[in-house]
Structure 1
């Protein structure tokens, strides 16, 4: 497995410190991909963040929330000053991000979009986020992630 991805190159270019953590990815895991990664690495699920692609009205957005939480579409729409939010279909998420589902990273996306972070994730000293390929997470200070992504933070999950 190559450890260099568009996500890691974007972080290198921004001179942000991170550590890579490979794990055994299970495409057909009964639990969500983020929870599977947390289990594989022995981490608490609130520290492993999942990356979702969504629509707010007709605008694409990237959402980063703890792996043990569910996105709240109404809260996301309100945070984005929109009327409605919904998840992006897999094919569109892969086309826009340039990553395969299960390996979507908010960093280095092919077609960058506004990023929204769950506010509670910023309370963690370190978080683990997909590094741009299945079976590879990066460990980063959440403040650095928000800064590099120019992300907004809001309570968008529960």
Structure 2
């Protein structure tokens, strides 16, 4: 699609994996980004909302981590992140949602457009450890942010997991 190039689509194009882009007009002023994508995709494509993912940027520390670090958690928009489960999967003692400014700096994406795919997947930036909820693996395809509000990537979960180097675990509470 013309005009849809983002760091996420660049990673996908370079990897050669198959994906589809879906666009919609983001409602200005809304901060319910994941719910907005779910509403649109379920109405337009009849997609079950559990296949639509949110990407959360977290800060983890303690445990085997020598110092605090930024990581990415990917789970269905219908679920709630267990920061305790995310921390355990990352070998950290604790985790919390990252400050929005930290999330922007670490990923290069705006809130509501954070994709689990980015330059850190190709080594062009500092690697961001990624954890993906195990429920994602059951779907044929899933939808994640394409790197901007109103742009969704439909991709096989195996490709998403492989490209991000993610740990697959139960992340929900």
Same fold (TM over 0.5): yes
Structure 1 partner of 2:53:
49
1:117 pairs with 120, 126, 132, which one? 132
Once residues 28 and 105 of structure 1 are traced to their aligned partners in structure 2, the CA distance between those partners, rounded to angstroms, is 20
8 Å CA contact retained: 1:46, 1:66: yes
Structure 1 position 49, deviation (Å): 0.3
Once residues 79 and 108 of structure 1 are traced to their aligned partners in structure 2, the CA distance between those partners, rounded to angstroms, is 21
1:60 pairs with 66, 70, 83, which one? 70
Structure 1 partner of 2:25:
24
TM-score, length-scaled by structure 1: 0.93
Structure 2 partner of 1:136:
151
Once residues 27 and 84 of structure 1 are traced to their aligned partners in structure 2, the CA distance between those partners, rounded to angstroms, is 34
> Which structure has the larger Rg over C-alpha atoms?
2
Once residues 117 and 135 of structure 1 are traced to their aligned partners in structure 2, the CA distance between those partners, rounded to angstroms, is 22
Structure 1 position 129, deviation (Å): 0.4
- Provide the aligned length of Structure 1 versus Structure 2: 157
- The structure 1 segments of at least 4 consecutive aligned residues displaced by more than 6 Å after TM superposition are none
Counterparts in 2 of 1:4-15, with a 5 A limit? 4-15=5-16
2:94 pairs with 84, 92, 95, which one? 84
Structure 1 partner of 2:64:
none
CA-based RMSD of the aligned residues comes to: 1.4
1:153 has 2:168 as partner: yes
What does the per-residue CA deviation read over 1:58-108, in whole Å, with 9 as the maximum and x for residues that have no partner?
A: 121111110011110111111122111100011110111000001111111
Structure 1 position 112, deviation (Å): 3.3
What does the per-residue CA deviation read over 1:6-59, in whole Å, with 9 as the maximum and x for residues that have no partner?
A: 1001011011100000012124337x3112101112232211000010011112
Structure 2 segments unaligned to the other structure (5+ residues): 62-67, 120-124
- Any idea what SS the aligned residue of 2:147 has? strand
Structure 1 segments unaligned to the other structure (5+ residues): none
Once residues 127 and 20 of structure 2 are traced to their aligned partners in structure 1, the CA distance between those partners, rounded to angstroms, is 23
8 Å CA contact retained: 2:90, 2:129: no
What does the per-residue CA deviation read over 1:125-151, in whole Å, with 9 as the maximum and x for residues that have no partner?
A: 110000011100000000011011111
